Amino acid sequence: MKILYIDVDSLRPDHLGCYGYHRETSPHIDSLAERGVRFTNYYASDAPCAPSRTALFSSRFGIHTGVVNHGGLQADPRPVGADRPFNYHHTEHQAWVDTLRFKGFHTAMISPFAGRHAAWHILQGFLEVHDTGKHAGETAGDVSKEALRWIKERGTEKENWFLYLNFWDPHTPYRTPVEYGNPFENDPAPEWLTEEIIARHRDSYGPMSARDLPRGDQWPGLPEEIACREDFKKWIDGYDTAIRHVDDHIGEILHALEEQGILDDTIVIVSADHGENQGELNVYGDHQTADHITSRIPCIVAGPGIKQGHVDDDFHYQIDFGPTFTELVGGKPSKKWDGESFLPALTNGESSGRPYLVVSQSAWSCQRAVRFDNWILIRTYHDGLKEFPDLMLFDVENDPHETKNLADERPEILAKGLRLLDEWVAEQLKTSDSPTDPMWSVIHEGGPFHTRGDFALDSYLDKLRKQDRHAAADRLERRYRPEKFDE
């Protein structure tokens, strides 16, 4: 058996054709979905990048590993302690990639991620690691070049292999080569973001909001601010072009597997570390929340033994992937893992989901959200310098872009969500090796890592006032220093 896991950074599912998007961003990914299983309610348990991939490869929640931030004490896994074994092989601490290795799989990674985030712990079980060397500045061509080399040199050499590779293009600043052009120049942008919503966003504040877009060595034509629908179209064109560029290179990789005569023997997975807010909650081109958009990710699985043309609507976490594929290769999931196998959904199309999900964010804000029925309830503990209320409730089936907060209008739903959230936190702390909730450690340490430094309160207030955004600055300062305004 051969397994190819394609991780596309910042890829939100609703910008793929197979998930209903109106632009042709993903013909090759769509073809995989047609011959495999597509999961519609698949969520990263912890966002953004390092917490998500730590959770994926450990099959454990951040509340258990301690990795919930991008810096500080909660950016590294908690030590095992006095009971740490000589190595993790065949113990409850063994990662699922290592389990695959001991089941006879040659395990390989093509990604700069471990070095970019100093997240060396995700490498457990990989026999071969190739850092593409650009610190996530890679374009799809850089990644596919190494993947094609690997497939040509190793693809038929090993009977069983697991190859994980990492595309970065949909992560700002959208570095698609200029010569690629804009395939969506004549396609309208998503209609949900109206001029009225943009005006409200511009009156507000926050890192990566309408007037504080991510900057860098960007794809040409991207606006400096979102001032109107036309700006939004230019911004979305950059994101969607990046997705299409990745999809082209996924097509090249699939073709290479076919040329090597191993495509029919290979299970292919397309997923992501997190989604990407594109205006939702006034965040553009970033992943700063525990909401539906940042936390929901695509999951498409196709290949031998996988049910064809099936759509699974059950709730799953990305941490469920490891136990699923451990069982698929005849292994036994560790009792230490939080993930639960959904193998029956893959092979037979049988329901094997969870009753609800809890997702977390502590790198840009401190939030937890519970996804249940057609709702998501988001509780904010540290707003990360954004104009968030403490509680937000959205009907994501009818309002997927989270435009109307129903927390005050639906108290009975709010109460149910808060109860589920409280039950989940209590259960996780009860089963944890540590009595400490790492999110609260982040708050006491000084807040989310990315809202320190340039986005620390005083620095950001100064920026707002230099831009003559005095009303927004006053509202922000009043949240953090109410005593100043009570005088």
Into how many domains does the chain fold? 1
Query: pLDDT-based confidence at 452, cuts 50/70/90?
Result: confident
What pLDDT digit, counting tens, does each position of 339-367 carry? 999 999 999 999 999 999 999 999 999 99
Q: What is the pLDDT of residue 66?
A: 98
The answer to whether residue 26 is domain-embedded is yes
Percent of the chain with pLDDT over 90: 96
Query: pLDDT-based confidence at 98, cuts 50/70/90?
Result: very high
Residue type, 332: K
Query: Exposure string (b/e) for 138-176, b if CB count within 10 Å is 16 or more?
Result: bbbebbbebbbebbeeebeeeebbbbbbbbbbbbbbbbb
Nearest to 298 by CA among 318, 327, 319, 284: 318
The answer to whether residue 390 is domain-embedded is no
d(CA 377, CA 391): 7
* Helix, strand, coil in percent for the chain, rounding step 5: 40, 15, 45
pLDDT at residue 278 tops 80: yes
Residue 23: CB atoms within 10 Å: 20
d(CA 119, CA 273): 14
d(CA 384, CA 283): 12
Indicate the average pLDDT of the chain: 96
pLDDT at residue 487 tops 70: no
Please say whether the beta carbons of 434 and 66 come within 8 A: yes
The answer to whether residue 380 is domain-embedded is no
d(CA 344, CA 324): 9
Query: Exposure string (b/e) for 325-349, b if CB count within 10 Å is 16 or more?
Result: bbbbbebebbeebbbbbbbebbbeb
What are the DSSP E strand ranges found in 336-384? Answer: 357-361, 366-372, 375-382
- Cα 430 off chain centre by: 27
Compare 371 and 215 and report the one with higher pLDDT: 371
128: CATH: 3.40.720.10
- Largest Cα–Cα separation, the chain: 76
Helix (H) or strand (E) segment spanning residue 64? helix 62-65
The answer to whether residue 340 is domain-embedded is yes
Please say whether the beta carbons of 241 and 184 come within 8 A: yes
Burial class for 429, CB neighbours closer than 10 Å (0-12, 13-18, 19+): middle
Q: What is the pLDDT of residue 485?
A: 83
Classify the C-alpha dihedral 236-239-243-245 as positive or negative.
Answer: positive
| Owning domain of residue 231 | 2-352
The answer to whether residue 444 is domain-embedded is no
Helix (H, G, I), strand (E, B) or coil at 164: strand
What pLDDT digit, counting tens, does each position of 129-169 carry? 999 999 999 999 999 999 999 999 999 998 999 999 999 99
What pLDDT digit, counting tens, does each position of 3-26 carry? 999 999 999 999 999 999 999 999
Nearest to 253 by CA among 242, 244, 263: 263
What are the DSSP E strand ranges found in 84-130? Answer: 106-110, 128-130
The answer to whether residue 62 is domain-embedded is yes
Instruction: Return the residue matching tokens 């595309």.
Output: 167
The answer to whether residue 235 is domain-embedded is yes
What pLDDT digit, counting tens, does each position of 412-445 carry? 999 999 999 999 999 999 999 999 999 999 999 9
pLDDT at residue 216 tops 90: no
Query: pLDDT-based confidence at 221, cuts 50/70/90?
Result: confident
The answer to whether residue 326 is domain-embedded is yes
Those residues with Cβ within 8 angstroms of residue 183's Cβ, 6 or more apart along the chain or in another chain: 24, 241, 244
Instruction: Return the residue matching tokens 């034509």.
Output: 221
Please say whether the beta carbons of 175 and 217 come within 8 A: yes
pTM: 0.97
